[in-house]
A and B are shown apart, each in its own frame.
Chain A
Amino acid sequence: MPEKIDFSKIRFLVVEANPLAAELMVDILAMVGAISIRKATDSDAAMRMMRDADVDIVITEWNLGGKSSGIDLVDFIRHSAQSPNRFLPVIMCTANSEQEDVVEARDKGVTEFLAKPFSVDGLYKRLVSIIARPRSFINSDTYFGPDRRRRQVPISFPDRRQKD
């Protein structure tokens, strides 16, 4: 019997300044079965919501209304003492899709990057990856976030990092 994902168990926060894009994301999540879907139009509101109620997955645009961006939100989640959960999965779903944007987002600790325009399939695959195949976290002097190496390549010698 194949594994399934019950999305009604997952609490989402969608952070998006464009009302139509926000509504589309909420509708797609509702269609796959999500029930708890909160919306924020800027990162300050998102931070408040995360402190007030539990969230399991954040989906954020890079470009937000207000003074701070989606990248600032990722920074808050991963590094702030006020962060409700430093391990919170974050999907950066954005029209900022140049290579340098992807690298910056990854280095800030996003869990998944989804370039706009996105397909339903692309979004779904990232949700599955976050929920069913979570990645290890790396904590170092210069980085805190999901392991940026995608493939786990078997090695024939002791893994120095595991020992550390």
Chain B
Amino acid sequence: MARKAQVIPPPDDLKRKAVNFKKGLNLELSESENRKVQGVVESASDRFLTEIGEKLQGVRVQSANLSEGDPAVGDYLDAIRSVSLDIKGMGGTFGYPLLSAIAKSLNDFTKKMDTATETQLSVIRHHLDALQVILSQGITGEGGAQEKDLLGALRAATEKTKNGD
């Protein structure tokens, strides 16, 4: 017979250790406290752009000479998944949500791929090109109408070619 669920009272050791009325930060950050912490993110932004730029350059070089059936496609797809997940995960934090959105489209597209057709490789290249343009032009925020159209077109391309052709 199934055992009945047991409810265990909340562990309060951290509360007893750290919550007080004298030292530390308020439970809700004030505007100035928030700005101060946000400054940490801003100061790491240049490093993010440099690192992502180098990683993108690496996969774009790999991408240039690749064709369907090439034994290197498996490793290439691993690299694409890794780079796209990194960009998806960090872009928005650093003020580049459009980078995150395009990287998400690329990551979703390649998530379950073992190999890729010529058309699929082309869709991947288009994503990489779009990421490169946004990065080099420093497009922060969601972008304008043109960028939204671009994202829509990339998503449509992944949907159309996800089964191969």
For B34, the chain A residues whose CB sits under 8 A away are: 120-121
Q: Is A70 engaged at the interface, CB distance under 8 Å to the other chain?
A: no
- The size class of the interface chain B forms with chain A is 35 or more
B19 contacts A24, C-beta separation under 8 Å: no
CA distance A82 to B24 in the complex (A): 34
Q: Is B10 engaged at the interface, CB distance under 8 Å to the other chain?
A: yes
Least Cβ–Cβ distance between A91 and chain B, in angstroms: 13
Least Cβ–Cβ distance between B99 and chain A, in angstroms: 9
Given A23-B44, A137-B10, A162-B7: A5 touches B24 (CB 8 Å cut-off): yes
For B27, the chain A residues whose CB sits under 8 A away are: 2-5, 128, 132
Enumerate the 6 nearest inter-chain pairs by beta-carbon distance, A residue then B residue, closest first: A117-B92, A95-B89, A116-B89, A6-B24, A134-B10, A140-B5
For B112, the chain A residues whose CB sits under 8 A away are: none
Tell which of A27-35, A45-53, A73-81 binds the partner.
A27-35
For B92, the chain A residues whose CB sits under 8 A away are: 116-118
With an 8 Å Cβ cutoff, the count of chain A residues facing the other chain is 51
Q: Is A155 engaged at the interface, CB distance under 8 Å to the other chain?
A: no
Given A4-B21, A18-B86: A120 touches B38 (CB 8 Å cut-off): yes
A164 contacts B21, C-beta separation under 8 Å: no
CA distance A141 to B7 in the complex (A): 13
What are 27 A-B residue pairs whose CB atoms fall within 8 Å in the complex?
Answer: A3-B27, A4-B21, A4-B26, A4-B27, A5-B27, A7-B18, A10-B17, A20-B44, A21-B89, A28-B40, A63-B85, A87-B8, A95-B88, A117-B90, A118-B92, A120-B37, A132-B19, A134-B10, A134-B11, A134-B15, A135-B10, A137-B8, A138-B7, A141-B2, A161-B4, A164-B4, A164-B5
